[in-house]
Amino acid sequence: MSGHTTLAPAGTAAKRKEARTVILSSYLGSTIEFYDFLLYATAAAVAFPKVFFTGTDEWVGVVAAYATFAAGYVARPLGGVIFGHFGDKVGRKGMLIISMAMMGIASTLIGLIPGAGVIGPWGAVILVLLRVCQGIAVGGEWGGAALMALEHADPKRRGFAASFVNAGAPTGAVLGTVVMGIFSALPQDAFLAWGWRVPFLLSFVLLIVGMFVRLRVSESPIFAEAVAKEDAQGAKRKIPLLDVLRRPKALIMIMFAGAAGFGLQVVLPTFSVTYAVSKGAPQQGVLYAFAGASAISILFVLLGGRLSDRLGRRPVMIAGLALFIAYLFPMFGMLGSGNVGLVFVAFTVALILHSCLYGPLAAFVSEQFGTTSRYTGAAVGYQLATLIGAGFTPGIIAGLYKDSGQSIFPVVVFLSVMALVSIVFIALTRESKNNDLTTVR
């Protein structure tokens, strides 16, 4: 016993160092993945309608571009199923390397697609196919990154550790929006001809950086222990997806609990950017305003995760959604002012409120499942939430706005109802911050 006591501090220190390395790698990897994925959202707002959907009414082109954006969200659950299966069977680390390579290659190729003036409608077809590849990749990325951070972390700090993965989303949004904003300063003809492509081509550089980071982390200890235990007992390994579907309640609950968070999140870099520009705010100023607000929100995502370790996941998430509902009309009022300063305030407050939901969400979702089906359950549940919450929301609200004679009222009603539905499902889901992650069920 005395020998064990002597070795414990060194072992604890090593585990903490490893946990910090894994959390950092998950954050950086998530940042790179979401740079690629959310860069598409910005391009769909400012470039794709004019590059791939020429010859149509302005808002018709916007709706069409958002339809291609939705293809990525349709594909994300498929990515969750594929990568989740092998992540629960083979391990988390290998799947993260594959998902990053897939995302980086698809994003680079998007920057090389000829416009409608060169190959007609085939440009839009190729765009959709590559967007599907992006969706599959990010569908596998999130689950693995979240679980690596969660399963290496101190049990009392799981919400904070997992929040670094979700903090990668606004960080990626900042990088993507800043880069796109720089090139949007070009003359319009130059920007539409080649300027918008450069941020996508830079994805290949980020891919190299991301691979270097990913190759340096170790496999999840909780997963390795669970597999070793099953092997020692001679237990037959279950098919993870079937194991999750045998108890579908958790999947359904987290799907609807998280939907509004993604719906509200995706409205900001898509419809809100387009709306602010249409009301007279300069395009580059709006993009920088969103980038600045996203940078501020990174700290609040981490704060949301830390608060959830103290107060519980559910109270923090419900408070964020309720406040966001109350804020919708003032937000669109500032976005429609034509004043970049007010647009910045609108984005900043919106993202701070959203962080209350987004910070705890990674831990909230992942803690609902047992170890040997956690990757599949968390990835599929999370990605289904993104599909129903974000996949079609930009197109729906752009259509509502256009069909109502450009009134913002139906947009606010739609987003409010979505948020209320998520509040109900969060309230009905059991609190998970004290769940034992080593349980295999």
Alpha carbon distance 235, 321 (integer Å): 43
Location of structure tokens 């939705």: 70
Alpha carbon distance 32, 208 (integer Å): 10
Element (H, E) at 45: helix 2-46
Cβ proximity of 217 and 127 under 8 Å: no
pLDDT digits (tens, 9 = 90+) for 317-354: 999 999 999 999 999 999 999 999 999 999 999 999 99
Quote the tokens at residue 401.
Answer: 């706005």
Quote the tokens at residue 35.
Answer: 């740079």
Mapped onto helix, strand or coil, the DSSP state of residue 161 is helix
Whole-number pLDDT of residue 109: 94
User: In 10 A of CB 57, how many CB atoms?
Assistant: 11
Whole-number pLDDT of residue 97: 87
Range list of β-strands (E), 269-316:
none
Alpha carbon distance 329, 310 (integer Å): 31
* Half-sphere exposure for 92 (CA within 13 Å, toward CB): 33
- Those residues whose C-beta lies under 8 Å from the C-beta of residue 425, and which sit 6 or more positions away, are 253, 256, 257
- pLDDT digits (tens), the chain, 441 positions: 334 333 334 467 777 777 787 888 888 888 887 788 778 877 877 788 788 877 656 666 666 776 776 787 788 888 888 988 888 888 788 888 898 889 889 989 999 998 877 887 788 888 888 988 988 988 888 888 888 888 888 888 899 999 999 998 889 888 887 888 888 888 888 988 899 899 999 988 888 888 887 787 777 777 777 777 766 776 666 787 888 888 888 889 999 999 999 899 889 888 898 899 999 999 889 988 988 998 999 999 999 999 999 999 999 999 999 999 999 999 999 999 999 999 999 999 999 999 999 999 999 998 888 777 888 888 888 888 988 888 788 889 988 998 888 899 999 999 999 999 999 999 999 898 888 777 645
Alpha carbon distance 160, 150 (integer Å): 9
Cβ proximity of 291 and 345 under 8 Å: no
What residue type is assigned to position 196 of the chain? W
Burial of residue 415 (CB within 10 Å: 0-12, 13-18, 19+) is: buried
Whole-number pLDDT of residue 305: 94
Whole-number pLDDT of residue 57: 62
pLDDT digits (tens, 9 = 90+) for 207-230: 888 888 778 777 777 777 777 776
Whole-number pLDDT of residue 247: 81
Alpha carbon distance 288, 434 (integer Å): 40
Whole-number pLDDT of residue 2: 39
What residue type is assigned to position 82 of the chain? I
Based on DSSP, count helices (H) and strands (E) in the chain, helices before strands.
Answer: 20, 0
Alpha carbon distance 315, 295 (integer Å): 25
Model pTM score: 0.81
